[in-house]
Every structure is written in structure tokens, then in C-alpha cells.
Amino acid sequence: MGVHLHLAAISDFNISRLMAHPQLIWTLVTAETRFPASRYALEPECITLRESLGEYWHGIHYLLCGQGWNGQLPDAFLLDGGSYVGNVDLGYGPARTFDSGEVKHITQALVNKTPETLRQHFDTNQMLDEDIYPPIWDGNTQALDACLKRFQAMQHFMRHVAENDLGLAVYLQET
């Protein structure tokens, strides 16, 4: 069990519905309909296209930004930016959304990154000093390799989301 970061593709129309009715976020997060069909329900496309960074989300953020909890957008999108979906706490705060235009901007930045360039940012001592979650980085090249594989999966996912003019929901949950 650990804290996992999830990415879910969602249309701009559904983002506007989430902003108007934040409790609908549970439909996206649980991939099931908890609310009766109504004019406020989310369209079903949001339930199918997802990516999980697992526990490597913080390591990916660090490799993108060079710091544990800060950074400049668009690189820092995993931890910063977007619009909060009300104050519905999903376990580690509310979800954040990025509209399709923001997704394209983020994706442009991501496609210019390679595992080789991110690998150069790997600094075991700094990662331990900054409490990069999970605490597995001390000389653990397998952890770095797994993190970079999750990064590549995220890159692929984000390309697909951008190409299909979709927005994005980002949220943390314990799984």
C-alpha cells in the first residue's frame, strides 16, 4: 500500500461539469457511477482513459524539476497548477484539472524530455534530503529505472490525451 498519483483524461465539457458539481469527481476516481443519470452526470469517456504513476510520481516530479516540492510549470504539473475540483478530499487533497490547451502545453514540454536527460538529474543524496517519496532512492538503480519507465508511459499517455483534444485530472490516492 502506498500513495499513488493518477492521471485521467477528461473532456473540457466534463471539466466544466466537475467545476460546477465537484462531488462528481467520485465518478471519475472510482470509475463507477455513484449518481443517478442526470443533466449533471459526466459523459462516459472520462472513465476509460487513465494512467497511474504508482509510487514513482514524486521521483518523476523531482527528475523533471530538480527539486522535491517546487518547480516551474509546465514541468511541475504533477504537483502544481491546474484548477482544484472544489474541496472534495480524495485522501490527499482535491483533484486538479487541466483543460485541453494546458494539456497541449504540458505535453510539448514532456516530449522534449528523454530518460537519458532525466537520469542526469538523479541525485541520491538530494532526493533523500528532500524526502522524495517513496524513500527507495539510496543507490537503487532499479528504482530509478522503474521511475523512468513510468515517465515514458506518462509521456505516451499525455501525447494521446493531447492528440485527442482532451483535458486531464490529476489526483493522489492511497492504494
The answer as to CATH 3.40.1760.10 being correct for domain 3-174 is yes
CA distance 80 to 93: 12
CA distance 123 to 105: 27
Using an 8 Å Cβ cutoff, are 153 and 59 in contact? no
pLDDT in tens, the chain (175 residues): 799 999 999 999 999 999 999 999 998 888 654 554 455 567 665 556 899 999 999 999 999 999 999 999 999 999 999 999 999 999 999 999 999 999 999 999 999 999 999 999 999 889 999 999 998 988 777 999 999 999 999 999 999 999 999 999 999 999 8
Ranges of each domain in the chain: 3-174
Instruction: Give the per-residue pLDDT at 138.
Output: 84
Please tell me the total number of residues recorded for the chain in this structure: 175
CA distance 78 to 73: 9
Instruction: Give the per-residue pLDDT at 66.
Output: 92
Q: What is the phi/psi pair of residue 139, to 5°?
A: 65, 20
Which positions ≥6 away from 153 have C-beta within 8 Å? 51
Instruction: Give the per-residue pLDDT at 175.
Output: 82
CA distance 119 to 76: 17
Q: Could you tell me the end-to-end alpha-carbon distance of the chain, in angstroms, rounded to an integer?
A: 5
Q: Which residues pair with 3 in a beta bridge?
A: 174
- Classified as helix, coil or strand, 9 is strand
CA distance 55 to 4: 5
CA distance 102 to 76: 13
DSSP 102-151: HHHHHHHHHHT--HHHHHTT--HHHHHHTTPSSS--TT-HHHHHHHHHHH
